[in-house]
């Protein structure tokens, strides 16, 4: 599933891709507290293990913003599946 967030002029400001499991998680509501609900069974993402390996391209940039340092890391898949 993909999600694109556009600014008011229609330009994308964020793109996200989410893997969905064919087996949903189930929560243990009987053991739930005000701060935590345990998971009874977990989603199954093992199919991701069968994806082909790729050589990712990684770059980083650090800039100072006032007293803070902000590092931006960009990952790209230069292969034919890197859409």
pLDDT for 73 equals 92
Distance from C-alpha of 38 to C-alpha of 44, rounded to nearest angstrom: 17
Is 82 within the bounds of a domain? no
Is 83 within the bounds of a domain? no
Q: What are residue 72's DSSP bridge partners? A: 61
Residue 5 near residue 11, CB atoms below 8 Å: no
Provide the 3-class DSSP secondary structure of residue 51: coil
Q: Which domain holds residue 24?
A: 2-76
Residue 44 near residue 19, CB atoms below 8 Å: no
Is 81 within the bounds of a domain? no
Distance from C-alpha of 69 to C-alpha of 63, rounded to nearest angstrom: 6
Is 14 within the bounds of a domain? yes
How many structural domains are present in the chain?
1
Q: What tens digit of pLDDT does each residue of 12-51 get?
A: 899 888 888 989 999 999 999 999 999 999 999 998 899 8
Residue 83: pLDDT band with limits 50, 70, 90: low
Q: What tens digit of pLDDT does each residue of 49-64 get?
A: 998 888 899 999 999 9
């Amino acid at each position: 599933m993909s999600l694109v967030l556009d600014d008011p002029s229609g330009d994308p400001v964020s793109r996200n891709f989410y893997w969905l499991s064919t087996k949903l998680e189930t929560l243990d509501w009987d053991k739930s507290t005000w701060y935590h609900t345990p998971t009874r069974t977990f989603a199954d993402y093992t199919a991701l293990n069968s994806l082909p390996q790729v050589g990712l391209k990684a770059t980083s940039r650090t800039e100072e913003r006032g007293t803070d340092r902000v590092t931006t890391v960009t990952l790209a898949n230069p292969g034919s599946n890197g859409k």
